Amino acid sequence: MKDKTIVETLYEEAMKTRENAYTPYSNFKVGASLLSDNGEIFSGCNVENASYGLSLCAERNTIFSAVARGERKFKAMLIVAEGEAPVKPCGACRQVMAEFGDFDVYLANTKGKIEKTKVSELLPNAFSPKDL
């Protein structure tokens, strides 16, 4: 049996966590997984609320969980949702991602299509802590 690549592992974790998404309004389930610099994997899903502004995307849920556990440096994130094209993060998630560096981001769909990019490509010229 061959060893799984980190992308395969991140994909499996994001797919598994995606099933826990709470999406009674959009029915658009998103899962994300995040690899920290020390090799730990964190995952999260989107959680909706009747007051839409209180909803939380999978990407921010995942990053905030990692930060709550003391992580600040990340190597890669994978985001997955159903659709023909790989899912892309919203602007708010891109800004939160940029806060923590220019790591690899894998955009995926539930059919296994995966595209690689970087935070800086998703949000060029981002406002960052360096600007303060």
Q: Which residues are catalytic?
A: 59
Q: Which residues contact 69 (CB under 8 A, 6 or more apart)?
A: 40, 42
State the Cα–Cα distance between residues 31 and 114, nearest whole angstrom: 14
d(CA 125, CA 121): 9
| CA nearest to 15, candidates 122, 87, 103, 67 | 87
CA distance linking residue 16 with residue 110, whole number of Å: 11
DSSP class of residue 38 equals T
